[in-house]
């Protein structure tokens, strides 16, 4: 059943991706991108990555959609016709995708218990978690304790990006008032 849900979600993701590429109305692109993020959050929920799913839902489907709609409010709603042929970008994207797929051929089967991650690192975290952190949730202890500075850095980057967007919007509003 889980495999069927994954296949349905991945098929919907592929269809939405095709729609994003083909549509010229930027409002439709924003809506489709938001739906894509929501489906990705659903995929992460099916894969039991609840923390990643919550982040994707809040940042990808939430904040990104609001910021894109705000930017769309300040610009035109129709995409300009491309001046150059899209053949070269399509070839580069296709080649990159083929290389990435080729790179996955040597990976162990999905969910296999005898991967290096599950036999060395994961087991080490599970064994040392309670003695070192007293945090019962292993994912929380890894993110907040073992990788605390990394998580702080990621949070700082997202916060700085948000402040930068707010500053740009404020500057645009001041320029608009001066013109009036």
Among the ranges given (8-17, 22-31, 155-164), the one the predictor scored with the smallest mean pLDDT: 155-164
Q: Is the pLDDT at 96 greater than 90, yes or no?
A: yes
Please indicate whether residue 29 or residue 123 has the higher confidence score (pLDDT): 29
Question: Could you report the per-residue pLDDT of 14-70, keeping only the tens digit for each?
Answer: 999 999 988 888 899 999 999 999 999 999 888 877 778 888 888 888 888 888 888
Q: Is the pLDDT at 131 greater than 70, yes or no?
A: yes
- Return the pLDDT at 62: 84
Average of per-residue pLDDT across 98-114: 87
Which residue do the tokens 């930017």 mark?
A: 71
SS3 of 78, please? Answer: strand
- Residue ranges per structural domain of the chain: 1-77
Tokens of 98: 């083929």
- Return the pLDDT at 38: 92
pTM for the whole thing? 0.60
Q: How crowded is residue 14: how many other Cβ atoms within 10 Å of its Cβ?
A: 10
Please indicate whether residue 169 or residue 138 has the higher confidence score (pLDDT): 138
- Return the pLDDT at 13: 92
Which value, to the nearest 10 degrees, does the dihedral of the CA atoms of residues 65, 66, 69, 75 take? -120
SS3 of 44, please? Answer: helix
């Amino acid at each position: 059943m889980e495999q069927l849900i994954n296949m349905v979600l991945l098929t919907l993701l592929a269809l939405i991706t095709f729609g994003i590429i083909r549509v010229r109305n930027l409002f439709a692109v924003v809506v489709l991108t938001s739906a894509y993020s929501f489906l990705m959050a659903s995929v992460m929920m099916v894969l039991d990555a609840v923390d990643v799913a919550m982040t994707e839902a809040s940042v990808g489907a939430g904040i990104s959609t609001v910021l894109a709609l705000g930017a769309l409010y300040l610009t035109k709603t129709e995409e300009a016709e491309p001046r150059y042929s899209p053949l070269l970008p399509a070839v580069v994207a296709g080649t990159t995708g083929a290389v990435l797929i080729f790179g996955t051929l040597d990976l162990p089967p999905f969910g296999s218990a005898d991967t290096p991650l599950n036999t060395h690192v994961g087991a080490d975290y599970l064994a040392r978690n309670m003695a070192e952190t007293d945090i019962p949730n292993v994912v929380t202890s890894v993110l907040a304790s073992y990788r605390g500075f990394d998580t702080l850095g990621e949070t700082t980057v997202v916060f700085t990006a948000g402040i930068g967007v707010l500053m740009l919007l404020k500057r645009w509003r001041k320029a608009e008032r001066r013109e009036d």
